[in-house]
Structure 1
């Protein structure tokens, strides 16, 4: 039984949906990124103490990447469920699975207590995180997109996608305290605090989502085709929409590479060249706060001039800033480091990230929109996101001297995205109830 939908263009309800999706995406990114921060700083010693420093770091980043391997499966499973049975009920499941997995990581004994079972259980819980995230992002964006006024879809759907930055603010604040603890306390119980605190966001978001309705687009689709639950959206996206899936893979590189490079890899790389963790945490915090302004501005602009030009601009900035970022990082100057983060994240990355939800979802028709957008993004996450810290660490080398290879890696990813933008159709004026668009 599908819940009734609210009146179309009800701005009060649209903001309510946006707020609940923002909190859900904050929890998603908080859980995922708190793992990345711990993998860069703590996990090598807690879960891989028998490995050497460089090998232990690679091992910890390997478990970070594992979570991304489960994301496409989660995107396919939860996307199919959301397209057949509803956005709201699916989002309730992904929320609980994500939150519980993170809390359990915070309770997990280390290698010194249970030996090899510690990293094994860590990988299992990381896979559960990834599986949940695969369905959370797509659903939280689409429920906003399909509830917003048509001419402001980009603007409203951009706010949940700032969840990564609100999560980064929370993580930076929590770790600012955790990093002040003596190493013995940090490695025994201090690192657990950020994982256990996710329970607060979980409870608040669960309470808000309980009162949501299904979207007008979804309820209209159900009314038009009551037997839609028997359809197979997974098969159809690979048969009918495979070009759009490939497009999304290409579109993600210029967004995911710099994000995980600056928020995960840079924490361990910075330490190898003598930069204090506090400097990088402060730069990330400033960029995270500014992200709310840049997301709103870029998303509103995309509602006026289209998704493609804004997206291409962001990819071009990422390309241009690849080498200058490392030069500014190596300067050791706090001002230059902050400026580097602002240019790459707030100007380059945010121009892309702000309009991803609308751009991706608008490529697919209503009956397989959740499946297509979620699966496409999460398949891309394996190549463009999860492997970034691991690949960047391997390219830079044990002493970080091969950093130009990392910069070149980012530039190649930006070029791939610019080509994908060129091939993509413009979608910002599309009627969400009609057949999906395709590659030009």
Structure 2
């Protein structure tokens, strides 16, 4: 691949996008993100249930869980690398090609996890290979989200960018539902069968989902606004010099404030998500909940998140990204203590109420408008890189570290239901993201082409 490669044929950028085309693109982004997040989040659920005893059996059970969450974090740390790598080529060659590539990488990595021998069979090589495959998953999903979000947002009209971007965002909770449901079904097997082969089936099943995702993505067109930007660069010699620079370096030098604000704004959403999905399962089982109850709570909250995502996304088109997102960030701090108290009741209704409140109601208020928000913060020639790197860095600091930090805080406090440290952590990230989104300002009325013109005028 070279920077001189031409993008595939697209509709004229100044023509109205065919309504059928935007629906097809949105469906492609939704299905693709669902499939990739299914694979990525499946690992998170499995890390709470099986990876500790199967890949770290010589460790104390609590330390084994921490080690398992450490491998989970490795995938999140790889996501910014995927954002830089695929953002680089996505900003030069187009969004569609990168989406196909990331899906193939994710499919291969997930299938190999499903086939991986355990520590008992191959010893230390097992956790080493597991971490390597997890890193590949992280790189793939790091490039996936930015391309999927931009394909949808850049095809949409200005007044509908939030709601169409929200379709892409629905892929994450849908992937969580499928991943958690798949492992929940596997846990119905006898314990020995679940640990020997049952947990592998959901990973191997991803081959079918990847095939469906690739089939749908092959049928979509490239983003019109990206094609327009490519044509302008080809026509203006002055632009050619800028094109030769690395997109990531350009983001750091031309949009450092936007990058920083986007990262900090995203931390609360992902940290809260990590607590009420991956961490809550192992914690709930540890204080006496049935495994099926903990998994069912995550499924229920994820289903409600799917339903609420278009509601919050549409609201962000009506009243703005900032008020919707700000309300969600502040709500994280408000629910930090009550939600974990609900879990500590030991009652099924308590954990269901906590996960619904934390994930479906609060996280979704921030996550739903995120695709449109980040797309509106960067110009076209840097949008894939800027949106991807900021989003994926936020996932590292949020979802990647929060289960690990929460388990460490719990262990340091003596275990049991000593969750005050975790609650204070949520208060802190909620307030930090609220401050960041306040200084970000409103973006919903920005014209994506105007952003390009402003950047060009600024040199």
TM range (shorter): over 0.9
1:101 pairs, out of 77, 86, 109, with 109
Q: Which residue of 2 aligns with 1:121?
A: 129
Q: Deviation above 6 Å: which 4+ runs of structure 1? A: none
Give, in angstroms, the shift of residue 92 of structure 1.
0.7
Q: Which residue of 1 aligns with 2:195?
A: 187
Q: Which residue of 1 aligns with 2:442?
A: 426
Counterpart Cα distance in 1 of 2:375 and 2:45: 30
1:160 pairs, out of 153, 168, 192, with 168
Write out per-residue CA displacement over residues 40-69 of structure 1, whole angstroms, 9 at most, x where no aligned residue: 110111111111101111111100001111
Question: How many residue pairs were aligned?
Answer: 438
The alignment status of 1:367 with 2:381, answered yes or no, reads yes
The alignment status of 1:3 with 2:17, answered yes or no, reads no
The alignment status of 1:175 with 2:183, answered yes or no, reads yes
The alignment status of 1:274 with 2:288, answered yes or no, reads yes
- Unaligned runs of at least 5 residues, structure 2: 1-5, 235-239
The alignment status of 1:404 with 2:420, answered yes or no, reads yes
Q: Which residue of 2 aligns with 1:84?
A: 92
Give, in angstroms, the shift of residue 32 of structure 1.
1.1
TM-score, length-normalised on structure 2?
0.93
Q: Is the 8 A contact 2:270 2:394 kept in 1?
A: no
256-265 or 330-339, which deviates more: 330-339
Q: Is the 8 A contact 1:283 1:337 kept in 2?
A: yes
Q: Which residue of 1 aligns with 2:333?
A: 319
Write out per-residue CA displacement over residues 99-128 of structure 1, whole angstroms, 9 at most, x where no aligned residue: 111111111111111111001101111111
Q: Which residue of 1 aligns with 2:303?
A: 289
Counterpart Cα distance in 1 of 2:250 and 2:316: 29
1:37 pairs, out of 42, 45, 53, with 45
The alignment status of 1:306 with 2:320, answered yes or no, reads yes
Counterpart Cα distance in 1 of 2:325 and 2:106: 29
Give, in angstroms, the shift of residue 414 of structure 1.
0.1
Give, in angstroms, the shift of residue 339 of structure 1.
2.1
Q: Which residue of 2 aligns with 1:111?
A: 119
Give, in angstroms, the shift of residue 143 of structure 1.
0.5
SS at match of 1:206: helix
Give, in angstroms, the shift of residue 290 of structure 1.
1.5
Counterpart Cα distance in 2 of 1:379 and 1:301: 26
Counterpart Cα distance in 1 of 2:83 and 2:318: 30
SS at match of 1:435: helix
369-378 or 3-12, which deviates more: 3-12
The alignment status of 1:243 with 2:236, answered yes or no, reads no
Q: Which residue of 1 aligns with 2:277?
A: 263
TM-score, length-normalised on structure 1?
0.97
Change (3 A) 1:199 1:229: farther
Counterpart Cα distance in 1 of 2:432 and 2:193: 44
Write out per-residue CA displacement over residues 342-371 of structure 1, whole angstroms, 9 at most, x where no aligned residue: 222222111100001110111000010000
Give, in angstroms, the shift of residue 229 of structure 1.
5.2
Q: Is the 8 A contact 2:287 2:417 kept in 1?
A: no
Counterpart Cα distance in 2 of 1:332 and 1:400: 12
Give, in angstroms, the shift of residue 422 of structure 1.
1.0
Q: Which residue of 1 aligns with 2:237?
A: none
Report the aligned-residue RMSD: 1.4
Q: Is the 8 A contact 2:344 2:417 kept in 1?
A: no
Write out per-residue CA displacement over residues 23-44 of structure 1, whole angstroms, 9 at most, x where no aligned residue: 1111221111111111111011
Q: Which residue of 2 aligns with 1:219?
A: 227
401-410 or 274-283, which deviates more: 274-283
Counterpart Cα distance in 2 of 1:258 and 1:230: 39
SS at match of 2:121: helix
Q: Which residue of 2 aligns with 1:378?
A: 392
Residues 8-27 of structure 1 aligned to structure 2 (within 5 Å) = 8-27=16-35
SS at match of 2:416: coil
Write out per-residue CA displacement over residues 172-199 of structure 1, whole angstroms, 9 at most, x where no aligned residue: 2212221112222111111101111111
Give, in angstroms, the shift of residue 277 of structure 1.
1.8
